Chains A and B, each alone.
Chain A
C-alpha cells in the first residue's frame, strides 16, 4: 500500500465508509475554496455562514432521515409535501385556534408521525414499493396542504418563529462575541478530543494497530482548527445573531442519528435489511418493523423540517417544500450511499448536503440565476455518482484514488470480486 493511502487510513480512521468520505470531504473543501476565491471572500463571512445554516438546515435534516430510508433500500419522494402539509396544519392551529406554540410543535411532530405510520403501513405491511407509496403521498399531501390552506399563506406567531429564525441569546460579559456560541465551540473541541481518546482506548483494547501519535496530533489539530474557525465566525456576526437555533437542532439530530446508525442494534438492522433483506430476515431481523420505522421516522423529520422552514419564513404557504425531496436524495447520494441500499453514513449525507447547500449559496452570491443553479446541481449530482461508480469498477475508492494507486480496502460491494470468490461462483454452477 502506498504511503498516501496509509496516511488516508490514519487520518480518516481507515474504515470503508470513511475512505469514501475522504473523497466527499475533498469535494466540499474544493467547493468552499473555489467560491471563497470567486466571491472575493464573501462565502466564509459570518453573515453568509449564518445565512447558509438557517437557510439550508432543512435539507440537512431531511438528508439524515433520507439516508436511513435509502440504506434500508427504499426512497421517500413525499418529504416536501409532508413538510408543507405539516406546516399549514400547525400554522392554522396556532393562528385560528390559538394553540400555544410549544403545543404547535408537538402537534406538528404528531402529524408527521401519523403520516409516517400511514406510509410505513403500505410499504412494510402491504408491500407496495416505497417509490409508489411516497409518490402518491407527494400528490396527496401537496393537495391536502392546498385544501386546508385554501392555497393561501398563513402567518405563524412570534414565539414559533424562534425555531427557524432564532439565535442563541446574548448572555454574560461583553466579549465582542456571542458567549453561548463560544461555549458551544469549546464543548465541541473537548468532545472531539475526548472522542479521539476514547477511540484510541477501544483500539488498544482490541489490540489493533494504533496510529502514530503525530498523526493523531495532526488530525486533532485540523479538526480543532475547523471548529475554532467556525465558532469565531458564528459567534462574531452582527450583534443579535449567532449560531441559529435550527443549526443547534440539526447538530443534535446529526449526533443522535449518527450514534444510532453506527452503534446500536436498531441501526445495524437497517443496514442488514438494505444489504440483504432475506438474509436479515433469516437472522431474526423483523423486516416489517424496520421498514415501518424508517418510513415513519422520515416523515417525522420531514414534519420538523417543514416547521423550521415555516418558522423562518414566518408563514406557511402552498409552495413550501417544493422539490425538497430531490435535494435531500441528491445529498444522500453525493454523500456516498448506494442506490441499491445497505451502504451510506449520516456524516456522509451531511457532507453531501453541505455540498448542495454551498453550491446553492455560492452561485446565488455570484448572482447566478436559478436556471443555472439547477443545471449545475444536476451535473454535480450526476458527476459525483458517476465518478463513484467508475471508481468502483476500477477497484479504486474515490477522487484521490485516481491520482494514487488502487486502494485495497475499498467498498465491499466492489464489482471486481477477488479471484477466490469468483471461482466459488463457478464451483456452485458445476454442482448438479
Chain B
C-alpha cells in the first residue's frame, strides 16, 4: 500500500438520529484502497451505527451526508444493494446455520443452479477454493456446529469471498476467539491486504489494532475525532486510549458525601465455566468485596465477563459453577438458586430489561411486586389493595411517568421501565443490589434520576454494585472500581485515582497489572 492509493470509500459528514438520540453527528471516514482501517471508540460511540449506514441496514434517506464508493455516490437501500457493490459486513454474532454443512452455508441464498436444482458438484468445488483462500482446512460437508468459533469465523469470511468482496467489514472479529485463532485471523487480514482487498475492522483489542491497522479512525459520542496514520504518527495503545476517552466529566451526577461502613459482602476465587464450552472460563478466580454504603463499579469491555460474574453469583443463573465462596456479614452463604439469593438479600437488575428483566405482558404494579409476592400475600392469597398501595408509593417515590399503575409496562419509555425494574428489586428489600448497565438506552434526565436513586440506596447502608460500559458513569458514580478483562479481575481503582486512561488500560490489559 502506498500513500498515493486512491480512496475506495469516503463517508462525508454522516448524521443519523433515532428518536431522542443522535447516534452519529457529522462523522467522516476515508478508507484508501487496499488498507486495513480500524475504527475505535467506546461502547455507544457510534461504530456499529456507522457500519449499518454503510451497509444499507439504515437505508439511504434515513441519514444525511454522502457515501462515495469507488468514486461514485452510493445510495444503498438495503444489505443486498451494498453486497452487490462488494461491501460485506461480518457481524459479531455470526449468521450461520448451525445444522447445515460448510458448503451449504457458503452458498445459502446464493446456490449455484443447474436446470432448476442445486448443482452440488460445482458448489463443492467452489467451496474448496473459497476455503483455501481463507486457510480453512476442513471437510466441506462438516456441519457448522461441529467446528469451533474460530473456524466458523473463517467460513463467514469465505462466504464474503463467495460474494466477490471488495470491502470487508469485520465487527469485533476476535472477541470470541482464543489467542491462536485471533493470530490466524490477523495474518489472514494481512494476506488480504497483499491481494488488494480493503478491510475495515472494529475492535476493542487495541494491541491487535496497533499490530495490524494502517489507519485508525476514532469515534467518540457520535463524532469522528481524528484519523491516525499508524506508521507516520507513531501510534501506540496509549495514544488510541487518549483519543477514545478524551472528554471532560461534567456534573451529570447528584452530589453525595459517601458514608462507607465495613466490608459486608465478599466473594473469593469465584470460577465459572461457560455453559456451552468446557474450556472457556467466564470467571477466573474473581475475588472482590463490597462495603456498606459503598457504590462499587465493574469496568470492562463487552464480553469481559462482568454480567456472567453477576448472574452466576445470583443463584447460579449463568454457566457452570466450579469453585468460589461467598460471605455475607462474615458468614459463608450458599446461593444455589435465585430464591436463595433473594432470601440472602441479593438483587440483580439485569442488563437486558426487555428480554430477561420484565414480563412485558404485565402491568406496572404486577411487575413491581413480582420478585417478592409473599410480602403482599396472606396465606398465599394476594391482597390487591396492598399491591396497589405499594405500587403507588414506588410510582411517586421514583417519579415513574405512567398514567396509572395498571398500565402495561410495554407502554412505558425505557427510563420509566428501568425505574419499574428498580422498584421491583427495591421491593425485595435487598442488602446488595447489582445493577447491570442501569442506564443503557435511556436519556440524560432519567439517568440523573437513577443515579439519585442509587445514592439514596447506599445512604440507607446498602451496598450497590454497578456494571457499566460507560467509563464516565463509573467514574462519576462509584467509590471504587474493579476492572475486568477476559473473565479475570485485572485491577482495583479507588475513586481518587479513577481516570479513564488508567481504567481503559487495565480493561484492555493482556497481562494482569499489579493491584494498587
Contact = CB atoms under 8 A, between A and B. Distances in A.
A266 interface: yes
B361 interface: yes
A15 B406 contact: yes
A423 B20 contact: yes
Interface string B339-379: 10110000010100011111111110010001111100100
Nearest to A343: B361
A265 interface: yes
Contacts of B360: 275-276, 412-413
B371 A430 contact: no
B44 A431 contact: yes
A423 B361 CA distance: 19
A417 B409 CA distance: 11
A96 interface: no
A369 interface: no
A426 B48 contact: no
Contacts of A269: 373
A263 B378 CA distance: 11
A176 interface: no
A280 B424 CA distance: 12
A281 B377 contact: no
Given A265-B373, A421-B412, A430-B46, A282 B441 contact: no
Given A279-B357, A428-B441, A430-B46, A423 B377 contact: no
A424 B414 contact: yes
B389 interface: yes
B380 A266 contact: yes
A413 B315 CA distance: 29
Interface string B6-32: 000000000000111101000000000
Q: Point out which of A272, A284, A413 has the most chain B C-beta atoms below 10 A from its C-beta.
A: A284
A420 B411 contact: yes
A2 interface: no
B342 A268 contact: no
A408 to B, nearest CB: 10
Given A264-B382, A412-B363, A284 B388 contact: no
A431 B18 contact: no
A426 B44 contact: no
Contacts of B359: 271-272, 275-276, 279-280, 342
B43 interface: yes
A202 B386 CA distance: 10
B381 interface: yes
Nearest to B424: A283
Interface residues of A, number: 46
Nearest to B20: A423
Contacts of A278: 355-356
Contact of B441 (A271, A275, A427): A427
Contacts of B385: 202, 205-206
B384 interface: yes
Contact of A284 (B46, B302, B371, B411): B371
Contacts of A283: 338, 370-371, 424
Contact of A276 (B302, B356, B371): B356
B64 interface: no
Contacts of A419: 19
Interface in A1-27: 15-16
B410 interface: yes
B342 A284 contact: yes
A202 B387 CA distance: 11
Contact of B380 (A265, A412, A432): A265
A286 interface: yes
Contacts of A413: 360-361, 410
A267 to B, nearest CB: 8
Contacts of B18: 423, 426-427, 430
A286 B404 CA distance: 30
A418 interface: yes
Contacts of B354: 425
A281 B317 contact: yes
A423 B410 contact: no
Interface in A282-333: 282-284, 286
Contacts of A202: 384-385
A265 B382 contact: yes
Given A283-B424, A421-B414, A431-B469, 16 more contacts: A206-B389, A265-B373, A268-B382, A280-B370, A281-B317, A282-B317, A282-B356, A286-B337, A413-B361, A420-B412, A422-B19, A423-B20, A423-B413, A428-B440, A430-B46, A431-B441
Interface of A: 15-16, 202, 205-206, 208, 263-266, 268-269, 271-272, 275-276, 278-284, 286, 342-343, 409, 412-414, 417-432
Nearest first, the 7 A-B pairs at minimum CB distance are A412-B408, A423-B19, A424-B414, A275-B359, A427-B441, A420-B413, A426-B18
27 contacts: A206-B388, A263-B381, A265-B373, A266-B380, A275-B360, A275-B361, A279-B359, A281-B338, A282-B317, A282-B350, A284-B315, A284-B339, A284-B341, A284-B342, A284-B371, A286-B339, A412-B408, A421-B410, A421-B412, A424-B417, A424-B441, A427-B414, A428-B440, A428-B441, A430-B18, A430-B48, A430-B49
